[in-house]
Amino acid sequence: MPRGNSREACPCLVFRRACKTRGYFYMKIAHYDQIITPEVGEPAAGYGVNDVTVRIHDDLKVSILLLDDGETKGAVLGYDLLGLDEPFIKKIRRDTADRLGCPEANVILSCTHTHSGPHSRSLGRSPANMEYIKKLYGWTAEGVEKALSEWHEADVYFYSTKCDQNYNRRYVDGSNRCKFLPHYRSLEPIGREFVDQELGMLIFTLPKTGHPLGVLMNFAAHPLASHSPGLGAHQISADYPGEIRKIMEDNTCWCVFVDGAAGDQFPKDSECGWESVHKCASGIVVEAIRGICDACRNKDLYRIEEPKIRASIETVTLKLRRDQQAKREEMPVYAGKRETEAEIQLFAVGDVCLVGVPGEMLAEIGQEIKWHSPYRRTFILYNSTAYLSYLPHAAAYVAGGYESAVNSAYIQPFESLKLINTAVEGMRKLHGPMPEELES
């Protein structure tokens, strides 16, 4: 029998029962950062095919967070990668679930979307590097095993605050025509499109002392602070998420960073080099530490009383654009298809739900999911269940621009509405009736 399947053999279950009689609940958590840095000399994903790496600025990692509520286990895996193809994701989920002895839905992935890493997903002329992917499977398994060796009892808190470290890279003028702000930097001060500045967190603390053990952090911004003209485009780096982890570990606790619906969100001072990386990461960390202080001092507001794991994988059929048919012929996952089955993954810890989406979701679509969620807080996980390129709203197709261009978005206009509805209906089933629904 896989490890963790025997409920009577699980010491955390015994502990949970004892806690329940005293009227409170803890979780058991484990964490490990596994290095997944490729060799120097590979093309850097996310930009031109000629951007070949010449050195390592900082290591790429998969941040592994394991959770055990006494009845089931789960995992959140945050990769410093541009994205992963759906078959790779499914294999990692299955393998990790087997190691934990839990359902596959209890293992959720996210890619930060750093452009300073290897080709880990297929896109047109840039297929995934299969030699690297094979190593990635092994590194992930190794990291999970190391995390399993050290569990900690933890109180669980949530927190949400505004963090002014990103902007919408789309400028839409009065005639409803879009300009891509990275190519028109002088227009940045008058940009007015939607910005999701929510910094969301799950905070884990030692029960007796309240000392922070770690934090799961969610924020929406492309990791594109480091990419600058010249050498900046040719160095392996986790960009600002890696710097966040470093600063957090030096000051407070470990950190697992998962990107939000960042399809049209950029960090401030994007593409300006390593000072921009540090400035962006420092601004986010300051708000995170303020949030940890606030949450732990206001237990009645932010402590999750019963951090039970609930998860599901919902599927939806999406129509693909016919004008991209030739391009998709180069990608085995979508070759010859007029439509595709996509997944929305839901992973709830108490009254906080993580929503895994199949690509680069624009912030407006992510916000619709958040607005209609029955959970107290909802965080979007970027590039989570597949790499289906950009997931725009219909207005983006009308205005044009990079995210909805022929070489970008795969799906037809209005298909993102299906993603919203699938996520919301899935959360309603997972959460159960809201009080108002019970009254009716």
Residue 331: predicted pLDDT:
64
CA separation for the pair 30, 217 (Å, rounded): 16
For position 50, what pLDDT does the model report?
A: 67
Residue 4 has pLDDT above 90, yes or no: no
User: How big is the CA angle at 419 (ends 414 and 424), to the nearest 5 degrees?
Assistant: 125
If you average pLDDT over residues 227-255, what whole number do you get? 92
The 3-state DSSP class for residue 214 equals strand
**Average pLDDT of the residues in 203-225:** 95
Helix or strand run (H / E) with residue 19? helix 11-21
DSSP 229: T
pLDDT at 193 over 70: yes
pLDDT at residue 150 above 80?
Answer: yes
How many Å apart are CA 316 and CA 65, to the nearest integer?
28
Lowest mean pLDDT among 33-42, 101-110, 189-198, 322-331: 322-331
Tokens of 426: 């899935």
Q: Which residue has the tokens 């048919």?
A: 325
Q: Where are the alpha helices (DSSP H) in 80-165?
A: 86-100, 130-148
3-state helix, strand, coil in the chain (%, to 5): 35, 30, 40
> With 90 as the cut, is the pLDDT of residue 203 above it?
yes
Mean pLDDT of the chain: 90
The three-point CA angle 354-349-108 to 5° equals 45
Average pLDDT over residues 301-316: 97
Average pLDDT over residues 265-271: 93
Give the pLDDT confidence score for residue 127 in this predicted structure.
84
How much is the pLDDT for 140? 98
The whole-number pLDDT of residue 45 equals 85
In the predicted model, what is the mean pLDDT of residues 162-176? 96
pLDDT tens-digit series, residues 85-134: 999 999 999 999 999 999 999 999 999 999 999 999 987 667 889 999 99
Tens-place pLDDT, residues 45-67: 877 666 888 999 999 999 999 99
CA-closest candidate to residue 124, choices 323, 335, 318: 335
Mean pLDDT calculated for residue range 175-187:
93
Using CA atoms, how far residue 161 sits from 158, 252, 304, in Å, is 11, 18, 17
pLDDT tens for each residue of 370-398: 999 999 999 999 999 999 999 999 999 99
pLDDT of residue 21: 39
Residue 125 and residue 117: Cα distance in Å, rounded? Answer: 17
Give me the residue spans of the domains in the chain: 1-432
How many helices and strands, by DSSP H and E, does the chain display? 11, 20
Place of tokens 């998709």: 328
Closest by CA position to 63, among listed 211, 230, 246, 208 = 246
CA 375 to chain centre: 18
| Size of the chain in residues | 440
pLDDT score of 233: 76
The reported pLDDT for the residue numbered 220 is 98
In this prediction, residue 221 carries a pLDDT of 97
Who has greater pLDDT, 279 or 8? 279
Integer Cα distance of 44 and 55 in angstroms:
11
The owner of tokens 């989920």 is 93
Give whole-number Cα distances, 14 to 3, 9, 26, 27, 49, in Å: 16, 9, 12, 12, 54
**Residue where the block lists tokens 């089933």:** 429
pLDDT band, very low/low/confident/very high, at 13 (cuts 50, 70, 90): very low
**Which pLDDT belongs to residue 22?**
45
Look at residue 10 in the predicted model and tell me its pLDDT: 45
Helix (H) or strand (E) holding 198: strand 198-205
Contact in structure between 74 and 101 (CB atoms under 8 Å): no
Query: Is there a contact between 318 and 415 (Cβ–Cβ < 8 Å)?
Result: yes
Whether the pLDDT of residue 249 is over 50: the answer is yes
Candidates 275, 265, 178, 188; CA nearest to 225 is 275
Burial of 377 (0-12, 13-18, 19+ CB in 10 A): buried
